[in-house]
């Protein structure tokens, strides 16, 4: 997650949760790119009779199953600025 150890010790559990969810979403976006390339290769090879979709290859919870209708509580501006300062160090 690229946070220095000293700054990690100063995080609250909620701040850590925000950072870890963001990290997980970034990882799943990169895997989404990979699975789309894989599906494109399967479909363009001509050997498979099945039409492949990216979801057939790998499911990603943050992308394939969004939490529609779920209310998200925004963090305060002060918390956001403090978390940004951790990432700069």
Q: Which domain holds residue 63?
A: 5-88
Q: Which residue has the higher pLDDT, 80 or 41?
A: 41
Q: Would you give the DSSP letter of residue 74?
A: P
Nearest to 83 by CA among 6, 27, 16: 16
Total domain count, the chain: 1
pLDDT tens digits along 8-27: 888 888 888 888 888 888 89
> Is the whole-model pTM more than 0.85?
no
Rounding to the nearest 10 degrees, give the CA dihedral for residues 7, 11, 15, 20.
60
Q: What percent of the chain has pLDDT over 70?
A: 92
Residue 38's pLDDT is: 92
The 10 Å CB-count burial string (b at 16+, else e) for 17-43 is: ebbeeeeeeeebeebbeebeeebeebe
Residue 62's pLDDT is: 79
pLDDT tens digits along 34-70: 999 999 998 998 887 889 888 888 888 878 877 766 6
């Amino acid at each position: 997650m690229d946070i220095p150890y000293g700054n990690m010790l100063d995080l609250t559990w909620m701040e850590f949760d925000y950072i870890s969810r963001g990290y997980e979403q970034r990882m799943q976006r990169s895997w989404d790119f990979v699975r789309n390339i894989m599906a494109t290769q399967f479909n363009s090879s001509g050997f498979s009779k099945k039409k492949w979709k990216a979801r057939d290859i790998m499911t990603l919870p943050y992308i394939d199953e969004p939490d529609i209708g779920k209310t998200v509580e925004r963090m305060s501006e002060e918390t956001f600025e403090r978390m940004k300062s951790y990432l700069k160090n």
